[in-house]
């Protein structure tokens, strides 16, 4: 991710927007993977939600069926 953000210097607006979209996709994949790992290690939805800064219900709705 640092490489992608660093490579945005000198980009035009369209290129920078594309880079940001790719970064958002990567963050989403990483977050989902970490939530799965947290659940497998025994963390509760409440603990995961606290880490993500969302409600327990929001975390479970987004990741509960994966």
Specify the number of domains making up the chain.
Answer: 1
* Backbone φ/ψ region at 9: left (φ over 0), alpha (ψ -120 to 50), beta: beta
Cα Rg for the chain, rounded, in angstroms?
15
Look up the domain containing 29 and give its range: 2-63
Contact 41, 59 (CB under 8 A): no
pLDDT in tens, 17-54: 998 899 999 999 999 999 999 999 999 999 999 999 99
Q: How confident is the model at residue 16 (pLDDT cuts 50, 70, 90)?
A: confident
Write down the pLDDT at residue 14. 92
Q: What number is the average pLDDT over the span 58-65?
A: 95
Which residues have C-beta within 8 Å of that of residue 32, sequence separation ≥ 6? 63, 66
């Amino acid at each position: 991710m640092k490489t992608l953000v660093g490579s945005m210097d000198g980009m035009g607006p369209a290129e920078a927007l594309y880079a940001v979209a790719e970064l958002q996709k990567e963050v989403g994949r990483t977050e989902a993977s970490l939530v799965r790992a947290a659940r497998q290690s025994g963390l509760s939805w409440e603990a995961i939600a606290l880490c993500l800064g969302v409600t327990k219900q929001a975390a479970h709705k987004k990741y509960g069926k994966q």
